[in-house]
Amino acid sequence: MNISRGFAPALRPLLPLGPDRAPGLALGRAHEATGPAAAVFAALAAGRLSGPVLWIRPGWRRDSLHPEALPPFFDPSRLVLTAPMRGADILWTAEEALRSGAAPLVVAEPEAAPGLTPLRRLQLAAEAGGNPLCLLLPPEAGSSGAVESRWRCAPLPSRGGKPRWRFERAPGKAGPPLTWETGLEDVRAASARPAGLQKQPFAPIGFSGPAGRGARPPTPPQAPRAAP
């Protein structure tokens, strides 16, 4: 006789990336995006949330984000950039930021796709911090099954002079393969409509990186809840 008791997984709130039938990202989980339009994918998610956007980039990289390209997606004044000089500190910063709950979105650009243990640590930190969203932008796609969803991001030919993109989700925890195409006109339409989640201000981020490992992030505020 089977006496084991099964437990249904808790439903997590989804952040829709756009209006209508746009796919969503589970909050409180780590998602991976690669390809030449990975930064656009992160900017789309940022535009569907309110509060600061913590973006963690390697300090030795010569390229940089261009704030003048962000207004179609979100207000650049929300962007908080930090640039650790050691590869290990990129994921450490992301973990501490997620645990603090100080930012609804944490974007990290690690040297390589994290393995099972680092991903698990990130997701536990996000759960402890009130379910912020974690986006990882490694140079190449990873293989760990711990990531919630894995996306390949690429530009499409423009339409009427306006840029467009294709985002392809690999099969995994989030569901079967999925392809979503969108453009700048859709981004502007989405910015004029609520994302279906209550937009709640978050406490300001009190640190810019793990310069001192004794420094602790601020006390987490309440997590955003789904709008009625």
pLDDT for res 205: 33
* 133-136/162-169 β-pairing: unpaired
> DSSP label at 74?
S
pTM equals: 0.80
Instruction: Please give the CATH topology (third level) of the domain spanning 27-62+70-151.
Output: Rossmann fold (3.40.50)
8 Å CB contact between 14 and 26: yes
Local mean pLDDT, 10-residue blocks, the chain (228 residues): 45 84 93 97 95 96 86 94 95 97 97 93 94 96 90 95 95 94 84 50 34 38 41
14 phi and psi angles, rounded to 5 deg: -105, 140
Query: What pLDDT score does 207 carry?
Result: 31
d(CA 140, CA 143): 10
pLDDT of residue 10: 56
Domain locations in the chain as residue ranges: 27-62+70-151
In this predicted structure, what is the pLDDT of residue 23? Answer: 93
